[in-house]
Amino acid sequence: MLDVPGVGQNLQDHISALLIYRARIPEGTVGITPSGIGRILAAMWEWRRHRTGLVTSCAAESGVYYRSAPDVEVSDMEMELIVGIGDDHGRKLHTGHGYSAHLLLARPKSTGEVRLASPDTHVDPLIDPRFFSHPYDMATLVKGPRWRSTSWRTPPSIVTAARC
């Protein structure tokens, strides 16, 4: 094991925020209900037989890069629409059906580091992402949900035509 100066520096991770909405009707979503579980089981059977259907989806059905403000030259935010309640990347389960909007900083300015904890490769490395160590990241991430909340109240044709 060799400790080389500079290796592991300048770690950048996409800081994110998650907005979760409950669906009034289950159609078009994946959820934990008796009918939702039935749909997933049927979809698993379809996949095993035809390699098609619901379980071929990554659940993040669409995404968009957008500018958090009109004066931003290049998109600085990303949004992924998830057709289910995607809390903590699916690690936290909730009953019911819903949608999630996963908002991410496209170009965070905070930088962290990864360091060796030991020469032993079986020991986990020391990871310090230093989230929000640069003030730009928090200020920009807070703008993301504002754009999302106005875009979901806008007719689809206008959102599609919006300059990102």
For 126-155, write each residue's pLDDT tens digit.
999 999 999 999 999 988 777 655 555 554
> Residue 162: is its pLDDT beyond 50?
no
Query: What are the extents of the domains in the chain?
Result: 10-161
Q: What are phi and psi of 93, to 5 degrees?
A: -95, 145
pLDDT at 159: 39
For 55-100, write each residue's pLDDT tens digit.
888 777 788 888 888 888 999 999 888 888 888 877 898 899 988 8
Please give the Cα distance from 1 to 64 (Å, whole number): 42
Q: Is the dihedral of CA 82, 85, 86, 87 positive or negative?
A: positive
> Do 32 and 95 contact (CB within 8 A), yes or no?
yes
10-161 — its CATH code?
3.30.560.10
For 4-52, write each residue's pLDDT tens digit.
888 999 999 888 888 888 888 888 888 888 888 988 899 999 999 999 9
For 114-132, write each residue's pLDDT tens digit.
999 998 989 999 999 999 9
Entry pTM? 0.70
Please give the Cα distance from 91 to 163 (Å, whole number): 34
